[in-house]
Amino acid sequence: MRRLLWLLPPVAVLVVFFGYPLALVLHQSFVSDDGVVGLANWHEVLASAEFRRALVRTVLLAVAATAGCLVLGVFLALVIAFAPFPGVRAVSRLVDVVLAFPSFLIALAFTFLYGSAGVVNAALGAGAVDFLYSPWGVLLAEITFYTPFVMRPALAAFTQIPGAQLDVAASLGASPWRVLRQVVLPDALPALASGACLTLLLCMNEFGIVLFVGAKDVITLPMLVYTKAIVTFDYPAACVVAVVNVVFSGALYALHRRVFAKGEGRAAVDAA
């Protein structure tokens, strides 16, 4: 019993500053502006085209970005692990550094790269690329930012595969493609699935990139929470959207914990 008492201070911090606010958000989502308790806010928000668009856009963006990160991250990790070249250590160092940077950096860099007066348009002629202020701009920014998040667990998994296994497969006449498909990828599957699951969660919750790209018609759920609360001061509606967002990302996270219960610490490091 005394041992449990010792837990009180950190648990109190979690309850007061995380649990209680979240419970109030849930409560507030059922209380309308004039204090009536009911489902009015929910009806209003769920029926609005704005919300439905944001929901669909969030899910599509997150799924597409995760797929993109997976393809790109696995390829980059494969080359580092199995076709190393001089300077490969500096490259993986740089990846670790990039993981520590904020996501809005990518959005800001994109305006210089692909903006209307950006480098690519200057090189190829004005109007050559014009996707930055569309969902494509946000999608590419998310892929760019989150690829290292898949790349790192993938690399960790690939380097654990014993080289002898690959050599045996190859000496028995398997083509590189077949070795990749039948030896490397199955071995790395848990790490890849876990990385993809977390990337999906992070992409669903991504705010910095959407905010900094600032495309008017690219509204995701977190962005909608922000605009409802800060721009239009519509707290009840913001709370409804927030609850929906938390339900989605919470479900994803629960799935992740269930399927990949081991290596929780690693997962969090990768998430950061």
Nearest approach in angstroms of CB 247 to another protein is 10
> For another protein, which residue of 30, 104, 131, 136 counts as binding (CB under 8 A)?
104
Q: Which stretch binds another protein (CB under 8 A): 36-44, 49-57, 77-85, 128-136?
A: 77-85
Nearest distance in Å: CB 174, another protein:
11
Residue 38 binds to another protein (criterion: CB under 8 A): no
With contact defined as beta carbons under 8 Å apart, do 22 and 225 qualify?
A: no
* Beta carbons of 205 and 66 less than 8 angstroms apart: no
Q: Give the angle subtended at the CA of 249 by the CAs of 145 and 201, to the nearest 5°.
A: 25
Candidate list 67, 185, 193, 246; residue touching another protein; CB under 8 A: 246
Bridge partners, 37 (sequence order): 31
Residue 223 CA to residue 144 CA, distance in Å, equals 20
Instruction: Assess 59 for contact with another protein (CB under 8 A).
Output: no
The Cα-based distances of 92 to 79, 86, 98, 100, 152 in angstroms read: 11, 12, 10, 13, 9
Least distance (Å) between residue 55 CB and another protein = 14
Interface region with another protein, contact rule CB under 8 A, candidates 35-43, 49-57, 97-105, 189-197: 97-105
Three-state secondary structure call for residue 37: strand
The helices-and-strands tally (H runs, E runs) of the chain is 16, 0
Exposure letters 151-170 (e unless 16+ CB within 10 A, then b):
bbbbbbbbeeeeeeebeebe
Residue 137 lies near another protein (rule: CB under 8 A): no
Both tokens of 197, joined, read 């699951």
Asked if residue 163 binds another protein (CB under 8 A), the reply is yes
Q: Contacting another protein (CB under 8 A), which of 40, 64, 109, 129?
A: 109
Interface stretch with another protein, choices 19-27, 33-41, 46-54, 186-194 (CB under 8 A):
19-27
Among 37, 47, 117, 172, binds another protein (CB under 8 A): 117
> Can you tell me whether residue 234 is helix, strand or coil?
coil
Q: Which stretch binds another protein (CB under 8 A): 33-41, 127-135, 186-194, 251-259?
A: 251-259
Cα dihedral 10, 16, 22, 24, rounded to 10, equals: 170
Q: Segment 169-228, which members bind another protein (CB under 8 A)? A: 170, 176, 179-180, 184, 201, 204-205, 207-208, 211-212, 214, 221-222, 225-226
Q: Which of 123, 127, 172, 186 binds another protein (CB under 8 A)?
A: 123
